[in-house]
Structure 1
Amino acid sequence: MTATLPDHVRTILFNRVPEVTVAFWVIKILSTTSGETAADYLNSTLGLGLAITSWIMTGLLVIALIAQFATKRYTSGIYWAVVVLISVVGTLLTDTMTDSFGVPLWLSTVAFSALLAVTFGIWFARERTLSIHTIFTRRRETFYWVAILFTFALGTAAGDLITEGFGLGYLFGTLLFAGLIGVIAIARFTFRVNVVFCFWAAYVLTRPATSR
């Protein structure tokens, strides 16, 4: 009879995502900006257009996710490849809604906020936790990646709404969202606000804070 490992032991052995450290956030920001640059290169510089770029990036993301789900534990190269590609697809999702279908940015922001909230609601209802330190099952990891996709789409929509929709410009947008990230950091380390809330709030905000 196979013994069931305690959660803390399974987490140490099989957690499929990296620990959240300063290095995590640095790599996350670099991954986001490099992914956006690659998408812009395909879309504008090479002239492939939004639709073809979206299909290419979505295909690459599917391949990367298959590789990620095939691994037995956290593998840095595969994990960050998924982050880069999902950041691009999330951004392109918002851009497609705005440019191709004329969806207002305020509506995209509300819609992706709602989708993210629903994802968290279902995730918690099924798993009884939203902890990012216990992603050791395929189902939890599925919720994790769906949430990340919506954070990038939401961050893009909110950032574009502030900088373009309200006409406040990219400098103001960068300073605003960077300031909000600072508020989240203070809330976490000074007032001990819930770590899960702070993580996901910061994850959303780092996307518009690095847009241009």
Structure 2
Amino acid sequence: MNTDLEKALSKVPEVTLGFWIIKILATTLGETGGDAVSMSMGFGYLAGTAIFAIIFLTVVWVQIKATHFSPFTYWTTIIATTTIGTTLADFADRSLGIGYPGGSLLLLTLLLLSLFIWHRALGTISVQSITTYKAEIFYWVTIMFSQTLGTALGDWTADTAGLGYTAAAGIFSGLLAIIVLIYFKTNISRTALFWTAFILTRPLGAVVGDFLDKPIDHGGLELSRYTASILLLIAIIVCTFVFKQRAGKAH
């Protein structure tokens, strides 16, 4: 495959600072948006998951069928993975009765299994190799599992561990800072660091989202989930214009 064709088929963005800022905003929106449907609208976790599953499958299909990189399509798909991740994690943790530890372990197993099968099938899990339909399918399945795991980890840390939303956000921010330091100071696999950071941004978004909409007496700001979701969506749209994005370099 020649370089020009690879660039045309690469439909994921270059990993830059702007990428991570939008990713954190998107994961926070996933928390407030998911909770708005399952809790505020009263659909519940199972029905909420079904609703977001339909949206997720639809936008993934559009993303995979696209012939070039589109920031709007890509980030819409990311948001879809975060919202279904929120309701699916809540369903596994609460409705199935396995709790945050059980849910986190189950989702971690599914995530690692997805990465393992992806690597065995294609020989790499690098985001720079997302230039085929098969690679894209593995990519989005893995992201969906990572978003769901991140939700469970965020809720587990903030609620069950009793750290609260701001302390939990500080912990995950600190872990991300360590990943950044490792990136610049070592030669550890960039692919491994990417997926580690990608997973950690989700629990950060989960606890920040909860901080925005949970009651004041529970350590939150008690914003309306609808208001918080709209503000986050606006922020994402603005950032997609401020941080000019292009397709990642394929190899």
TM more than 0.5:
yes
* Matching of residues 8-23 of structure 1 within 5 Å: 8-23=3-18
Identity of aligned residues (%): 32
Q: List per-residue Cα deviations over 1:147-205 (Å, max 9, x = no partner).
A: 10111111111112211122121121111111000011111111132111111101111
Note if 1:208 corresponds to 2:203: yes
Note if 1:196 corresponds to 2:191: yes
Shift of residue 48, structure 1, vs aligned partner? 2.6
Which of 145, 165, 177 is 1:170 aligned to? 165
Contact 2:150-2:199 within 8 A present in 1 as well: yes
Read off the aligned partner of 2:130 and give its amino acid letter: I
Structure 1 unpaired stretches of 5+: none
Over 6 Å off, 4+ runs: none
Contact 2:150-2:200 within 8 A present in 1 as well: yes
Structure 1 partner of 2:141 = 146
SS for the counterpart of 1:133 is helix
Structure 2 unpaired stretches of 5+: 211-251
Read off the aligned partner of 2:199 and give its amino acid letter: V
Structure 2 partner of 1:126 = 121
Separation in structure 2 between the aligned mates of residue 33 and residue 162 of structure 1, nearest angstrom: 16
Contact 1:98-1:105 within 8 A present in 2 as well: yes
Structure 1 partner of 2:244 = none
Read off the aligned partner of 2:176 and give its amino acid letter: I
Separation in structure 2 between the aligned mates of residue 46 and residue 111 of structure 1, nearest angstrom: 28
* Number of equivalent positions: 207
Contact 1:39-1:53 within 8 A present in 2 as well: yes
* Matching of residues 59-74 of structure 1 within 5 Å: 59-74=54-69
Note if 1:83 corresponds to 2:78: yes
Q: Which moved more, 1:145-154 or 1:36-45?
A: 36-45
Structure 2 partner of 1:34 = 29
SS for the counterpart of 1:68 is helix
Structure 2 partner of 1:95 = 90
Contact 1:16-1:75 within 8 A present in 2 as well: yes
Read off the aligned partner of 1:92 and give its amino acid letter: T
The structure whose RCO (Cα within 8 Å, separation 6+) is larger is 2
Structure 2 partner of 1:58 = 53
Shift of residue 9, structure 1, vs aligned partner? 4.4
TM-score by length of 1: 0.92
Shift of residue 84, structure 1, vs aligned partner? 0.2
SS for the counterpart of 1:74 is coil
TM-score by length of 2: 0.78
Contact 1:16-1:74 within 8 A present in 2 as well: yes
How large is the Cα RMSD of the aligned pairs?
1.4
SS for the counterpart of 2:68 is coil
Read off the aligned partner of 1:22 and give its amino acid letter: L
Q: List per-residue Cα deviations over 1:92-122 (Å, max 9, x = no partner).
A: 1110012211112112112211211111111
Contact 1:43-1:49 within 8 A present in 2 as well: yes
